Chain A
Amino acid sequence: MRDTLISICEKNFLQQLVAEGHRLDGRNYNESRTLKISFGSSYGSCIVTLGETKVLAQVTCEVTQPKQVRPNEGILFINVDVGPMASPQFEANRSSDLSVYLNRLLEKCYKDSKCIDLESLCIVVEEKVWSIRVDIRVLNHDGNIIECASIATLTALAHFKRPDITRSGDQIIIHTIAEKDPIPTVLYHYPVRAVSCCFLKIAFMYSSIIVSDPSYLEESVCLSNTEEGISKGGGLLVIGMNQYKELCLLDLTGAAIDSSNIVHKAMASAADKCKDIVDLVKSTIASDDTLRQKREKVSFANTITQDHLLSLSRKDLNIRLKKYHVEDLTIEEDPMSEDDDSHKQLRSSRREHQNG
């Protein structure tokens, strides 16, 4: 992995801006970007978008022999792939520190917290069990992959349905979806990594500020090291919780925390956010199920073409004044709508031009 370098002026600017109480994209400290979940045509595939960060998750299953230590439990395998598609600094077919870190965090969050009923995946003890594999692919990296990937994993697992089986004597028949309704995976609880927040240490204030859902720039400023390899800028605190506000995961990278208040504050905001995210995941899965029962076609193609017209115009607006100051609010809304309209006009005039 090539090292990403952030210019000194960007770093200083961001730190001062946060110290003044603002963020680059106009959010509040504990405000998240918009979360969008869309499903693919098969069960267990979804794309989760958090702002500009985009993650694709696909769940597959196969029948394998169980591990000798746990003969009556199925297997859950999580694989994270961060390729050059996400951001040019990543190399293809090589596991970077980030992908190993992500993999470990996801395993901690989903495997070690025992959210999946692995015993229900058993077919024949010591012989055959279902092995569930979650493939995570990061499509675009704009900070906070951790949260995006964990929501994707959760959604894909909750959405996934494995084929039904019947046992007659020694024979096991695996039914296709057409023959018998598939069985959903049993989730005891919905752990989600709600808040992965950066805290920036502002040197002249001798205090740390918690910023949730960091963007790419914020994340890299927090994790940037000095030349001696000591990180002073801040760190990344990852908190995983389920919908019952139980802690599943706590992870810290970067600089050390100097007061316990930060962790308490972050946990308090994580608790509320986790509930919202889990509710959203559940409601989108429910609405997707009703769509599927009506035999309407669900696929990624629909979701991509829907916002195709405006996708170019907004992508670069990573600096925003939105909600920056009350008097700016009226300014910001108008140009955005004008922006979209003019873009549409441009497109349509171009189309006319081509036809003519």
Chain B
Amino acid sequence: MKVVVGDVVLPGDQCEFIATIAEKSRVLLGPGLRKEVDGVFITKAGLLRRRAPNTFWVDGYQKRYIPARGENVIGLVTQKMGDIFRVDIGSSCHATLSYLSFESATKKNRPKVEIGDVVYAKMLVASKDMEPELVCVDSNGKKNRLGVLEDGFVFKCSLNLIRKILSPQCMLIESIKNEWPFELAAGMNGKIWIKAKTMRETVAVGNAILASEYLTNEEIKSICCRMY
């Protein structure tokens, strides 16, 4: 079936127009699109989107995380195996995290990570045939906010909500920030870690985030104002 940008697309649909654009200029294919020998095909149900100049992706409601390189995720350490930790990030298989990929970690100086700890890490390797690999340092060997998250509370949400609250247009974080001070780590795998001064505030912030999934900016502002 022929599709255009903004259409509801289904797996198996062919995008002829992307192939024709690709003959003239560079095209970036995002999630939900795949290049085969005889054209570009849709692999996911959703809305076909485009961002100038030529970036295409399929946007749909999703809860299952598919690892992508360079994204920050929140994972749960489930196993210690020699020199690696196994981390559950909600994808189809567990990710690995080497104990050397922490700030100032050496063979002698092991980082303090226990089974059951929650880590905020960056996706280093994410290919479809290999186990994903995480790191807790940036390219300069600095911690840069990554690492083990202590206290607070973790909850799951849809991947769309994470993208929504992280987008610069979204007023949610700005609005709650004015009411209550809190710490937040949003993993692209649909997990959010929050920590506020008291338990009640933590739950309230979590609730505000979950409730904002289908709200517009004005509505978000009005809930945040009424939180007091």
Name A residues whose Cβ lies closer than 8 Å to a Cβ of B.
5-13, 16-17, 20, 22, 24, 227, 312-313, 316-321, 324-325, 328, 330-332, 334-336, 338-339, 342-343, 346, 354
Contact = CB atoms under 8 A, between A and B. Distances in A.
A320 to B, nearest CB: 6
A24 B155 CA distance: 11
A49 B23 CA distance: 54
B207 A319 contact: yes
Contacts of A342: 214-216, 219
A113 B226 CA distance: 53
A321 B155 CA distance: 15
B200 A317 contact: no
B206 interface: yes
Identify whether the interface residues of A are mostly helix, strand, loop, or mixed. helix
B223 A331 contact: yes
Contacts of B219: 335, 338, 342
A324 B199 contact: no
Interface string B86-103: 001000000000000000
Grouping DSSP codes into helix (H, G, I), strand (E, B) and loop, the B interface class, with mixed when no group exceeds half, is: mixed
Interface residues of B, number: 39
Contacts of A354: 8
A6 B219 CA distance: 34
A339 B116 contact: no
Interface of B: 8, 61, 76, 78, 88, 114-118, 149-158, 161, 193, 199-200, 202-204, 206-207, 210-211, 213-216, 219, 223, 226-227
Q: Considering the complex of A and B, which 3 residue pairs feature the smallest CB-CB distances, nearest first?
A: A8-B116, A13-B153, A319-B206
B161 to A, nearest CB: 8
B214 A9 contact: no
B8 A317 contact: no
A319 B199 contact: no
Q: Which of B151, B157, B203, B226 has the most CB of A within 10 A?
A: B203
A313 B213 contact: yes
Nearest to A5: B78
A10 B153 contact: yes
A12 B116 CA distance: 11
25 contacts: A5-B115, A6-B116, A7-B76, A7-B117, A7-B118, A8-B116, A8-B117, A9-B150, A9-B153, A10-B154, A13-B151, A16-B199, A17-B199, A22-B199, A22-B200, A227-B115, A316-B157, A318-B155, A319-B155, A324-B203, A325-B200, A335-B211, A342-B214, A342-B219, A354-B8
A13 B214 contact: no
A200 to B, nearest CB: 14
Contacts of B118: 7-9
A22 B210 CA distance: 19
A338 B211 CA distance: 10
A339 B214 contact: yes
A24 B151 contact: no
Contacts of B227: 331
A343 B156 CA distance: 20
Nearest to A332: B207
B162 to A, nearest CB: 12
Contacts of B210: 316-319
A16 B199 CA distance: 8
A317 B161 CA distance: 12
